[in-house]
Each structure stands twice: as C-alpha cells, then as structure tokens.
Structure 1
C-alpha cells in the first residue's frame, strides 16, 4: 500500500489525539512517559557501509538515510504502532455497532413482553420464553461492553506508546541533527527532519495490516 504525503500526514496527525487517533507533531501529552534511548555514533550516522546484506534494515536504508540505526528502530516501532492503533480504532467502531444493535434487540423484546403481559389472552409460556431470551441477550450485551472496555484500554496504551516514541524520536533528532525544525505551533516537526517521512512510509507500507 503506497501512501501519498497528504494521506500520510493525516494518518500521522490523527493518532496524536484520542480514539479516532500516528505520529507527527502534536504536543506531548501529560500521561506519556519519556524514556532515554541510545544514540548512534558518528560512524553510524555517516552512511550505510556498516550494514551487511543480511541486516534486517538494509532494505530500508535508502529511504532512511542519513538516520542511524537507533533512529530507524524507533521509526519502525512507530510505524508498527500506527497500524495497531488503526486496527484498534476499527475494532472500537465495530464493537460499538454490535452493542447498538444488541440494545435495539433488547428494547424490542422488552416492548413485546410488556405488550403480552398487558394482554390477558397472552400465553404465559410465550412470555416466559421471551423473558429467557431477553436474559440471554442482556448477558451478551454485558459481554460486548466488557470487550469494548478492554479494546479502549489497549488503544489507550498504544496511544501512550505513540506519544512516547515521538518524544524519543524528537530527542534523538535534537541530539544527532541539531537543525531548526519547528512547525507552525513551535513544536519540533519530525517530518521536517531529513529522511523521517520516507523512512516512516517505508516501514508503514511494509508492516502487516
């Protein structure tokens, strides 16, 4: 899957917020924890000669130059997490749709049971059967809500990881490529660093969907 720069930017910016949320330049959230990362030596950032043909990153080096191995590793994690966030967002939407459908069925059953109970000629066995069905659907609704809560939790963790990786990348670029790269909000723009956008796209397009 090949992404245009416009589509890439929308994907990256979207994941810096909430559920509809990978990667570029929103400010760091308060819940994120920043950890230090190792930086490459001058020889690592000077070219690709240190890589062997069997190096797993050798296929990406043309797109990632002049970024060193430590930076490339962070970008790979960022691209992989972008796919994870997208999948979790789709799962949230699907689970919400299932819950809404289940609630409709439950409301219809309740309405039918109330109608039967108000009719003296109604069969008691039919009412009992419908109430049993209602109980089953209610339990299923509870299960769906628990599943949705779990997906939300996973999405929150991935969003925090996304923020953490962006922070580590900004620190990496500050230390290794000290150039003026501020966007219109005064934040450090990852996409302004040489090689970042192409490197991210290289990993994003090769990552499993």
Structure 2
C-alpha cells in the first residue's frame, strides 16, 4: 500500500512537471513519431524520413487554426477539454452500427499525441482524460492549439503544420490560404491515406465544407 502511494505521488509529480515544462518548451518528439520510425525498419521499406519543424503560433496562419476548429472540434474555444455532446453523438451512432469518428476534441488529441501511445484501451483513454484536464488547466487554449498544430501527423512522415505547408504547398505555415489550410485539415482523419493536393473528389468536397464552416468560427479569442 505504501509503495502504491509513493508510485502515485511520483506519477503525479512527474506528469505535472512535464506539462508545466511543455507549456514553454517546444515538443521535439512524440510517441507517434517514434512509432512511425520503427514501422519503417522492416526489410524492403525505404528509410524513414520524418519532417517536423516547430513554429510559434504567431507564425501559423489564422486560416489553419480556423480550419482545424471547423473540421475537428467546432466547440474548441468554449469547452473545457471535453465535448460531451459530440461524445454522446459518437456513442449513439456507434451503437447503431454507423461508422463515425470519435468525439475527441483538439485538447484530447493533443494530450494523446504528446504524452501517450496509440490505442483504444481503457487505460489509455483514462490517461488521455487526465492529461486533457492538465493541459486545459496549465496550458490554456492558445498553447494547446500551438502544440496541436506542431505535433499532429499531416502526411506520411510529415508532422506539424510548418512541415506540412512545405511538403504540400512549398510555402511557410503563415502563408496558407483558406483553401490550402482546408486541404491539410481535410486529410487529418487519415493523413497517410489521403493527399492535400491532387486530391480525390471526397477530399475536395471535405475542403469545400471546411472552408464554408471556417466562416462560422469567428474571432480566435483564446
């Protein structure tokens, strides 16, 4: 019992310390980046070439910020880490046998990408909720958006919006137009399956819907 109590103290101490540090320090590497590097090792695959360039949020186009809110988490600016309406909707549709993405918010996705492994276990979901609460309390919305856009996978071996902007459009992240930002946001459900340029008709339709919904995001009042 005493050992368990000490272990819990260490866990809370270390995790809170990391979240405080990463409020100010750029995240250099994520678990998913490590996984992708390991996946490329089997014989016959080309050497892994990861692309990841951290940029401050001031150098990320407002179009890109609005695009991910419009496509991934419409209530990002108002919820406190969890969108319970979206979660309930996802659960209802899953019960009906409909294929629908989960109700994860940008905050939850950020917590998972930075601190945790990929998977669907109850343990990982519990830790995801824990880290989501921490980053909402300690980081705030602007920092969460900054980390999210610098850490998520936006192509095969492409992580973060600066690398994605260079990879897909050959320009910096602060120069993205509405349509270009929507192009990157449109492939986020499956960034290694779809392409932001020379896209399928499905992705082109998603781009158009995202551009339309971006108008409703309004002012980015973090």
In the superposition, the TM-score normalised over structure 1's length comes to 0.23
Q: Considering fraction of residues, name the structure with more helix.
A: 1
Tell me which structure has the larger Cα radius of gyration: 1
| Larger relative contact order (Cα-Cα within 8 Å, sequence gap ≥ 6) | 1
